[in-house]
């Protein structure tokens, strides 16, 4: 009888334990290329506070989404858009409560032009790169921007398309293109002299989906809470993203 009672006490203690106790010690996180560098800078703080080790897989949102649909064992998916996380809800892969917005991205222009209306952008021989619009949200936004500016038909055939926004930047860094439409966050990360572009594209709302189960889901949810916290949102505002609370950006310059 005493042994049965002891087992009951232990079981009740586990059930009533706080989420931080039950969280997994490590999680696998799929992250869109634009957010990889900012996340890597933030992770030491998160790991020190929680004891949770985060293993990252970086790629385009479209490619990572396809991997998840085919059973890749990710515990969280940090997409560069809301389309893929919402598709996970629609397919029944995750509940709506498992998806939240963590950042809002912007485009920027890097290269020897003054802006999107600079005639040099369409000059003969000028090589322009964007991320692949079919798989990369920043590429989709770049296509919308170029269409709005009346440049898409002129440039489309000759565009160099990166599989993700990181490769798009690498095309410019290695001299393979003259101009690239990249994430504003990359301008901050790599200390680049970028030009602002009109926000003539759908807002780049970046959402995260907790795709793990059990203890891993608890740990992944802690990462989501960390990213959405006010101190981290202030850091993201300085890193080239619009904060979830617009009032945070007012005093962050």
| Rg of the chain on CA atoms, in Å | 21
First-last CA distance in the chain: 66
What are the φ/ψ torsions at residue 208 (nearest 5 degrees)? -115, 140
Domain boundaries, the chain: 24-105+204-251, 107-196
Torsion sign over Cα 107, 230, 24, 54: positive
Q: How many CB atoms lie within 10 A of CB 174?
A: 8
The strand ranges marked E within 116-252 are 128-131, 160-162, 179-183, 195-196, 204-210
Beta-strand ranges (E) seen in 86-203 are: 99-105, 107-111, 128-131, 160-162, 179-183, 195-196
At 92 the pLDDT is: 94
d(CA 94, CA 212): 9
pLDDT, one tens digit per residue, over 176-222 is: 999 999 999 999 999 999 999 999 999 999 999 999 999 999 999 99
> What is residue 247's predicted lDDT score, i.e. its pLDDT?
62
CATH topology of domain 24-105+204-251: D-Maltodextrin-Binding Protein; domain 2 (3.40.190)
**24-105+204-251 and 107-196 agree in CATH topology:** yes
Number of neighbouring beta carbons within 10 Å of residue 58: 20
153-173 confidence digits (pLDDT tens): 999 999 999 999 999 999 999
> Sign of the C-alpha dihedral, residues 184, 247, 231, 104?
negative
What is the average pLDDT score of the chain? 89
- pTM exceeds cut of 0.85: no
Q: What is 107-196's CATH number, 2.40.320.10, 3.40.190.10, 3.40.1280.10, 3.40.50.300?
A: 3.40.190.10
What pLDDT, on a 0 to 100 scale, did the predictor assign at position 246?
66
């Amino acid at each position: 009888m005493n042994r049965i009672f002891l087992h009951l006490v232990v079981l009740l203690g586990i059930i009533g334990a706080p989420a931080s106790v039950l969280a997994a010690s490590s999680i696998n996180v799929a992250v869109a290329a634009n957010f990889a560098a900012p996340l890597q800078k933030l992770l030491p703080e998160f790991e020190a506070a929680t004891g949770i080790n985060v293993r990252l897989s970086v790629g385009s949102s479209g490619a990572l989404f396809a991997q998840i649909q085919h059973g890749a064992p990710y515990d969280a998916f940090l997409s560069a858009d809301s389309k893929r996380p919402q598709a996970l809800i629609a397919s029944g892969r995750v509940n709506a409560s498992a998806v939240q917005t963590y950042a809002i991205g912007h485009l920027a222009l890097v290269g020897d032009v003054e802006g999107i209306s600079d005639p040099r952008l369409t000059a003969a021989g000028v090589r322009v790169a964007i991320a692949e619009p079919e798989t990369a949200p920043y590429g989709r936004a770049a296509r919308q921007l170029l269409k709005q500016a009346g440049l898409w038909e002129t440039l489309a055939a000759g565009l160099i398309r990166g599989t993700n926004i990181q490769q798009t930047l690498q095309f410019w860094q290695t001299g393979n293109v003259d101009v690239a439409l990249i994430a504003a966050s990359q301008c901050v990360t790599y200390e680049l002299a970028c030009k602002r572009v009109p926000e003539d594209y759908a807002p780049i709302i970046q959402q995260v989906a907790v795709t793990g189960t059990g203890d891993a889901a608890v740990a992944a949810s802690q990462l989501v809470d960390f990213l959405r916290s006010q101190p981290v949102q202030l850091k993201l505002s300085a890193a080239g993203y619009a904060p979830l609370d617009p009032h945070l950006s007012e005093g962050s310059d």
